[in-house]
Amino acid sequence: MTDAARWRQLAVVSLGALLALAPWFGAVAVAPNLVVAWSLGGLDLPVLTVAVQLGFVAGALLLALSGAADVIAAQRLFFLGAVVAAAANLGFVVAGDFLAALPYRFLTGFGLAAVYPVGMKLVVGWFRRDRGLAIGTLIGALTMGSASPYLFRALGTMAELDWRAVIAVSSLSALLGGVLVLFVGRDGPYDQRAAGFSLDAARQAFRSPAVRLANLGYLGHMWELYAMWTWIPVFLLASFSAAGADDPAAASFAAFAVVAVGGAGCIGAGLLADRFGRSATTIVAMAVSGTAAIATALAFGADPMLTTAVAVVWGVTVVADSAQFSAAVTELTPPGTAGSALTLQVAAGFTLTSLTILLVGLVNEAGGEAWQPAFMALALGPAVGIIAMWRLRRLPDAVRMANGRR
């Protein structure tokens, strides 16, 4: 295996993942249109995203319990997941109303469950050295892919295209990503057969205080992440309007920048974690992210350039540490239990995101669109995560992380 081959495969899988993740926030991207077309109100909009989150949890658990990743080639499984997500996303276009759209959003998340973890499996199979950078690069690509509907929405608004065109482009993007990985992706020399999910193995892993703290840190991170990604376009549109700059295209461009810039944060955090340790990197990222959440809330209605700049800092740091929690669990768990522990971690984390997405909507609605308390509440997650990772850093088991760098 040459160095060029592994970096080429990282580029292929990362680009495929970037393209394939486009349907995730499609409904949020066209939210202003849906409010009018489907007479959405209250918590209808966040529920459309929650359906994706729950579909992802169901898909991830099914993959783990069925052992499909060991029966179906990873490239084919990635492709199938992308096709399901693309088709369900198109179904959302023809649904016609809120209730009819929910199953399609659930299936979108279900399909994406075969893209995210399977893409991770493909990348890890090529890297032992520079694994932190490789995983950070993939998560960065997934982040940019999640942001892409906001870019499609901005361009569509400028071109005066129907909102359905934005959804259709997102589906096409997912299909192209699946085709790319199917025909160009390859298994790496370090690819290993995944152990099936075992509740006993998960329980064994969670007996370790270090594993429990790593997962608590992850939950603090997830408390904030997807709620921010879901609501930031709505927040920016309302903030720009309050500042006298009612420009939907500008707000969509800003939302894309805020979420997509997290890709750079993931790569940077991957490099820092390999050099300075996972606990230190996650503590710093969550400290800056939590502070930026409060600052962004306070910047509501300020000059759009200022609000966007503060939100960009939040966007860089809110996802920067994402890969490090999973890496920490793989390093801290007993042999043969990492797969089950990670499955449980993902299921718990994405279930929690469903609650916080709704929480922001409830707080905001109760306050008459008072965004300050809604976004400030998201800073609670990083606060808990910092405490957890600080306690983990002080445990003897922490030396097993990042080659002894804790």
Angle value at C-alpha 290, between 288 and 294, nearest 5 degrees = 110
CATH topology of domain 195-406: Growth Hormone; Chain: A; (1.20.1250)
Res. 404 pLDDT band, cuts 50 70 90: low
8 Å CB contact between 398 and 325: no
The CATH code of domain 1-186 reads: 1.20.1250.20
Residue 182's pLDDT band, with cuts at 50, 70 and 90, is very high
**How confident is the model over 300-304, as a mean pLDDT?**
90
What per-residue confidence (pLDDT) applies to 218? 93
Query: Cα 232–309–281 angle (5° rounding)?
Result: 80
Q: Is 36 exposed, middle or buried (0-12, 13-18, 19+ CB in 10 A)?
A: exposed
**Model confidence pLDDT, tens digit, residues 67-123:** 676 677 889 989 999 999 999 999 888 888 889 999 999 999 999 988 987 888 788
Give the confidence band of 344 by pLDDT, cuts at 50, 70, 90: confident
**Banded model confidence at residue 382, pLDDT cuts 50, 70, 90:** very high
Residue percentage of the chain with pLDDT more than 70: 88
Give the tens place of pLDDT for each residue, 238-287. 899 888 887 888 888 899 999 999 988 888 887 887 778 888 889 999 99
pLDDT class for 201, splitting at 50, 70, 90? low
381: its two tokens: 């997650």
Give residue 363's pLDDT band: very low, low, confident or very high (50, 70, 90).
Answer: confident
* Percent of the chain clearing pLDDT 90 (strictly above): 37
Helix axes 74-95, 116-124, angle to 10 degrees: 160
Structure tokens at 115: 């893209």
CATH 1.20.1250.20 placement within the chain: 1-186, 195-406
- pLDDT at residue 290 above 70? yes
